[in-house]
Homo-oligomer: A and B are copies of this chain.
Amino acid sequence: MKHVKYGKCVRCGRTYEAVPGLTTCECGGILDIVYDYDYIRQTLTKEKLKEREHTMWRYRELLPIEEDTAPTPLRVGWSPLYEEPRLAEQLGLGRLWVKDDGQNPTASLKDRASAMAVAKAAEAGARVIACSSTGNAASSLAGNAAAAGLKTYIFVPSRAPKGKVAQLMTFGATVVSVQGSYEDTFELSKAAIDRWGWYNRNAAINPYLSEGKKTVSLEIMEQLCWQVPDYIALSVGDGCTIAGVWKGLKDLYAIGFIDKLPRLISVQAEGCCPLNRAIATGEPWRPMEENTLADSIAVGVPRNADKALMAIRESGGLVVNVSDQEIMAAQKLLGAACGVFGEPAGVTGTAGVKKLCEQGVLGRGDSVVSIVTGNGLKDVANAIKACGEPISIPGDMELLLRAFADRGIVVE
């Protein structure tokens, strides 16, 4: 890879050759992929981009793949970026865009990381990829690997929701449901990966995954015609996504595609906010309980804490925590105002933007992009909790009129 220098430990600075099976540093730190921006500047132009397919692979000069690595089969990326003037007005914001990343093949932003894992597995000559996860990482890996003709072994704790297991099984994954804790599950997956040498799709270990995720911010900037908003807001769990978002922005700045950098808004659930707490207090992050309905960001021990905290700090970012009630309210708000149906963790970023508006931190002078990271169809049970009950009546016009009147519904 002429455009990639090496992987560099974010903790101790040691560098490693960027081979496909790259994992973590000897010191335990996570690696960051370092690019040769001088080289990239000579090979990638905004004009060239205009000619390309609308997938994440349009940015291949900024991605850690070989020149001849084929794009993965599913159409990942180039999710819609909607400007939402009505919602901006309602919140008291200058301008607001919603990036609906639930519009990906397996319905979450995680497809970007999993497609990258599939591409790197192909480079490594691997025929099998494995991970342990209960959620979007697993389903996106199973789907993207199936499309590429690769086998997957996926380890889930026995408490994993049946629907998510069904999605994995439909994609043909060999799913091992471990009767025990998530830790037991992770350990068995690790032993199996070591034993059989499967390619490891684990965002805590594989440094290429956040490079896949960064395509979301590359797209946002291209969709905004390289005009930089004041803020980009998103939900944060493990920390890998916000680190990727920041990496993409810095890439674009380094090659001169944008002339300034936005500030990040890191939104976590009140019941599980170890990273935001670290920023707010200035102290090192410490584990927390996982008390939130937003399961995809219920991460008490974030594995990408170093990268995430660095991203928030470098960007001069804001942090804000929201309650489960505020998350559910944001789900209804995005649905009703924008026609966007996000899962709880998916809408948490927007919940944070709303809260910052109410606190007067954000206002009419600010422009914000809010990323929705996953589709509400992933978690219908919580949507039911959030949205209330319909009007229930027998089929009679008089009863309909009375029901409307009782609820103060004035028919237009």
A residues contacting B by CB (< 8 A) are 54, 73-75, 80, 82, 86, 100, 103, 105-107, 127-128, 142-149, 151, 153, 156, 158, 162-163, 165-172, 174-180, 184-185, 187-188, 191-192, 195-196, 331-332, 335-341, 375-378, 380, 383-384, 386-397, 400, 403, 409, 411-412
Contacts and interface: CB of A to CB of B under 8 A. Distances in A.
Contacts of A377: 107, 167, 375, 377-378
Contact of A383 (B151, B167, B172): B167
A146 B339 CA distance: 5
Nearest to A175: B390
B179 A392 contact: yes
Nearest to A72: B339
Given A74-B80, A341-B143, A384 B192 contact: no
Given A74-B80, A184-B395, A400-B188, A170 B331 contact: yes
A187 B377 CA distance: 30
A166 B384 contact: yes
A388 B394 CA distance: 39
B390 A177 contact: yes
A384 B164 CA distance: 9
Contacts of A391: 174-177
A77 to B, nearest CB: 11
Contact of A167 (B75, B167, B185, B341): B341
A356 to B, nearest CB: 23
